[in-house]
Amino acid sequence: MLNYHTHTHTHKNLVGRAEKALIMAFNVAFLSTLLILSVVFSPGNALSLNYYDKTCPTAESIVTNTVKTATSRDKTVPAALLRMHFHDCFIRGCDGSILLNSKGNNKAEKDAPPNGSLHAFFVIDSAKKQIESVCPGVVSCADILAFAARDAVVLSGGPTWDVPKGRKDGRTSRASETTSLPAPTFNISQLQQNFRQRGLSMDDLAALLGAHTLGFAHCSSFESRIYPQNSDPTLNPTFADRLRSLCPVNHKAKNLGSANDPSPTTFDNTYYRLLLQQKSLFHSDQALLTNPKTKGLVYKFASSHKAFTEAFVHSIIKLSSITGGQEVRKDCRVVN
């Protein structure tokens, strides 16, 4: 029979081994998670809210004033800048790769079909030129685009937020990589996978698609929902008729399309209310109603502008914090 002290000592050893095993297992799992996150988020470029406080304190105000001036002349600028930032962040992180020009045999992201309608690059160029005259070689083009996207939302009547700073600019931009952008034809599973690969949740998906409250969509992005007639039972029939009148069958014009919602220059929650009326443009929008989690968020955001804007701010900060660049470009259109 075991002596009580011997039994206790043996029990302590067993518990000690078990604790060590658990700690090792936890450490392995934790390190694995960190490894995955490092691939997704590339935290080598640590961001901070006061990154330019001493080196270029006027950077954000310069960008804000530039965006304001451009918007006063063209009301479509905010939607363009917000979309530009999204498309930048979804490929190689928020590294300004969307701003690079094609060169030689390399076709850049901006010249790929999904980005063919992007515009307002001149806003970033103008802000960069002004900042370079004050703080040369300090502020990245990726940060300027992140500031501009925030200003675009604010100038459209949306919320504001403190943009984390310190992104670096990437040296690579390939049109072929734009196939990884979420497509307007995606179903909910494809959207979930696409966002998950970037460390974004279903909550982020539901909130960030609300950016479709701004802007204009070309016929090519939603024609599969209106032709042939009655091909999409999730589309309101009267709304479908209206879209067909805007996008006649076999049309050749490249500039035909529809505003994303009746108030395409106002950042509001109309997008979600239209979803519930089956009046969304994209299949990927309507897909939010095919999943219990995102469907619940659509109802929540449709009934509360505050809930939407708070969720959007949380998610866009998360998205814009995915980094991946290596330098601070002197000219946003070319690598140093």
Pairing of strands 216-218, 257-259: antiparallel
DSSP summary character for residue 162: P
Q: Is the pLDDT of residue 277 over 90?
A: yes
Alpha-carbon distance values, 98 to 81, 123, 127, 225, 279 (Å): 11, 14, 16, 29, 31
Question: Per residue in 117-126, pLDDT tens?
Answer: 999 999 999 9
Cis link prior to 182 (omega < 30° from 0)? Answer: no
**pLDDT value of residue 35:** 33
Using an 8 Å Cβ cutoff, are 242 and 278 in contact? Answer: no
Using an 8 Å Cβ cutoff, are 192 and 203 in contact? Answer: no
27-31, 35-39, 68-72, 217-221: least confidently modelled range? 35-39
Helix (H, G, I), strand (E, B) or coil at 12: helix
Chain centroid to CA 57: how far?
26
Q: Pick from 195, 183, 158: which is nearest to 293 by CA?
A: 195
Residue 158 or 38, more confident: 158
Helix (H, G, I), strand (E, B) or coil at 106: strand
Alpha-carbon distance values, 321 to 2, 32, 70, 88 (Å): 59, 21, 26, 12
DSSP summary character for residue 1: -
Q: Pick from 279, 269, 250, 33: which is nearest to 158 by CA?
A: 269
**Structure tokens given for 110:** 């901006």
Q: Quickly state the pLDDT bin for 251 (edges 50, 70, 90).
A: confident
Question: Per residue in 127-141, pLDDT tens?
Answer: 999 999 999 999 999
Average pLDDT (157-166) is 98
Catalytic residue among 87, 212, 218, 283: 87
Q: Quickly state the pLDDT bin for 205 (edges 50, 70, 90).
A: very high
Residue 8 or 263, more confident: 263
Q: Is the pLDDT of residue 28 over 50?
A: no
**pLDDT value of residue 17:** 45
Average pLDDT (181-189) is 96
Answer positive or negative: Cα dihedral of 51, 56, 58, 64.
negative
CB under 8 A, 24+ apart: contacts of 298-306: 298/206, 298/272, 299/272, 301/206, 301/207, 301/210, 301/269, 301/272, 302/269, 302/272, 302/273, 302/275, 302/276, 304/269, 305/268, 305/269
Q: Is 212 a catalytic residue?
A: no
Distance separating alpha carbons of residues 235 and 44, to the nearest angstrom? 45
Distance separating alpha carbons of residues 79 and 149, to the nearest angstrom? 9
**Structure tokens given for 261:** 């919602």
Q: Quickly state the pLDDT bin for 291 (edges 50, 70, 90).
A: very high
Burial of 190 (0-12, 13-18, 19+ CB in 10 A): middle
Average pLDDT (8-32) is 41
Q: Is the pLDDT of residue 12 over 50?
A: no
Using an 8 Å Cβ cutoff, are 319 and 89 in contact? Answer: yes
Using an 8 Å Cβ cutoff, are 173 and 98 in contact? Answer: yes
Question: Per residue in 297-311, pLDDT tens?
Answer: 999 999 999 999 999
- Strand locations in the chain (E): 216-218, 257-259
Question: Per residue in 37-47, pLDDT tens?
Answer: 333 344 445 89
Using an 8 Å Cβ cutoff, are 170 and 324 in contact? Answer: yes
36-40, 58-62, 87-91, 143-147: least confidently modelled range? 36-40
**pLDDT value of residue 29:** 40
Q: Is the pLDDT of residue 6 over 80?
A: no
Q: Pick from 156, 180, 152, 185: which is nearest to 281 by CA?
A: 185
CA atoms within 13 Å, Cβ hemisphere of 333? 12
pTM of the full structure: 0.86
Q: Is the pLDDT of residue 30 over 50?
A: no
